[in-house]
Structure 1
Amino acid sequence: MDEIKKDTSTENKETEEISYEGSAIEDKPRDVVENLQNELSQQKEKYLRLYAEFENYKRMIQKEREELVNYANEKLIKDLLPIIDNFELAIKHAGSDLNSDWLESMKKGVENTLKEFLRILEKYGVKQIETVGQVFNPEVHHAVSTVETEDIEDNIIVEELRKGYLYKNKLLREPLVAVSKKAKPSEEGGSSSHPSGVQNDRIEKED
């Protein structure tokens, strides 16, 4: 009888061991699958980050390439602007009362050369910036002086001292301008004693 009980106990123990081993075998593949899924998820996130970084890099390179093509002539055009300034100064100082037909012909030749020069530059995207009569914009204009006046409101450009240019909507050179400043009334209620005086108050903007 004792032997039968012993055999039964042994069988139960073996059954429990087999059941435990079977459970362990079932749990082990589940852990492996979970680990693989976690690793796959991590690799997917890493791939998406790298892909996003690569796309941003491609867009940056494309933008730089487009800017390089669009503004390839910027330095050359900027170097030509002083020549235009000299043409304009020559025409300005020549005046309208010339003593000879030769000088008049020379002036017209310079004017025609300047017009043709500006036409070609405009063909490549260069435009002069409008100034006189416009509201002063510190992002575009460079004020070198103020002019007190009774007839014009504050911050209106009243004189252009040097022309400015845009190159394909990019500021190539700021125009130098004089800006209006409303004259303050005197103590007697009249206007300032220097209604049209020019003051060299520089605006905080450098070339």
Structure 2
Amino acid sequence: MQERRLKENQTISNEEEIEEKNSEVVEEFLDDEKVRLTAELKEINEKYLRLYAEFENYKKRVNKDKEELIKYGTESLLLELLPVIDNLELALKHASDKISEGLVQGVGITLKELRKTLEKFGLSEIEANGKPFDPLVHHAMNQVERDDVDEKTVVEELRKGYIFRDKVLRPSLVTVSKKPVVSEREEDSEKEIKINKIIEEES
């Protein structure tokens, strides 16, 4: 009987040990699984965040491209129309007496309406004559000596320039002033005149 009890106790003890070991194994497995799943979840989350960021950047790029297209979509058309404006201006400038007055007026009205329409789309003329030379909007074709204006002033506009919204569509072709080169003779004669004036004032 005692032996039987001992065997039963031993069996219970063995079962408890097995159960404890099983419990430890299960716990260890669950811990490993938890670590693995946490790492996997973290990796998936990072991938998701990267993809989300890339998608957001893509959306921003598409929106920016769309805005640029809307804003500057007519740029190439306007660029093609500039020679038409140039030719109409030349026609008016060189209109002779032989051409009927009505035709000249018609060309003038057409040019005026064309300019007005293009202004609605954001096209504006670059101011040039009498303005200081600005390499961002003016393209100097030549220089002339002038003493009646400041140096590097636009004295003649050879071809009109245009700005489309905030972008230079075509720079103005201009002639720019420079200081006259004074020869030694002129310099000497100027000095002589000044000396003569001083002598006259003193006497």
- The two structures have a TM-score, normalised by structure 1, of 0.70
Identical columns (%): 46
Shift of 1:151: 4.0
Residue 160 of structure 1 corresponds to 157
The CA deviation at 1:22 is 4.7
What's the counterpart of residue 40 of structure 1?
A: 41
Secondary structure of 1:131's aligned partner: coil
Q: In the alignment, which residue of structure 1 is the partner of 2:29? A: 28
SS at match of 2:94: helix
Q: Once the 2 structures are TM-superposed, how far is the Cα of residue 77 of structure 1 from its aligned partner?
A: 2.1
Match of 1:179 among 176, 181, 191: 176
CA deviations on 1:161-197 (whole Å, 9 max, x unpaired) are: 1111122223222211122333455456849xxxxxx
Pair 1:190–1:22, CA change in 2 (3 A): farther
For 1:159, what is the secondary structure of its paired residue?
strand
Q: Distance in 1 between matches of 2:186 and 2:23?
A: 107
1:67 to partner: Cα distance:
2.3
Q: Cα offset for 1:119?
A: 0.9
| Shift of residue 81, structure 1, vs aligned partner | 1.2
Give the secondary structure class of the aligned counterpart of 1:94: coil
Matched with 1:129 is: 126
Give CA-to-partner distance per residue, 1:35-64, whole Å, 9 cap, x none: 211111111111111111111111111222
Matched with 2:201 is none
Once residues 149 and 78 of structure 2 are traced to their aligned partners in structure 1, the CA distance between those partners, rounded to angstroms, is 35
Q: Which position in structure 2 is the counterpart of 1:146?
A: 143
Question: Is residue 73 of structure 1 aligned with residue 74 of structure 2?
Answer: yes
Query: Counterpart of 1:88?
Result: 89
Structure 2 counterpart SS, 1:150? coil
- Once the two structures are TM-superposed, the CA of residue 136 in structure 1 deviates from its matched residue by 2.6
Instruction: From the two aligned structures, give the one with the greater helix fraction.
Output: 2
Query: Take 1:114 and 1:162, find their aligned partners in 2: how far apart are those partners?
Result: 16
CA distance in 2: counterparts of 1:27 and 1:143, whole angstroms:
82
- The TM-score normalised by the length of structure 2 is 0.71
What is the rounded CA distance, in whole Å, between the counterparts of 1:20 and 1:183 in structure 2?
Answer: 106
How far 1:20 sits from its partner (Å)? 6.0
Q: CA RMSD in A?
A: 3.2
Report the number of matched residues: 178
In structure 2, what is the equivalent of residue 110 of structure 1?
Answer: 107
Q: Which segment is superposed worse, 53-62 or 138-147?
A: 138-147
Cα distance in 1, alignment partners of residues 52 and 135 from structure 2: 42
Larger-Rg structure: 2
Q: Unpaired runs of 5+ in structure 2?
A: 1-6, 189-203
Structure 1: segments with no counterpart, 5+ residues: 1-6, 192-207
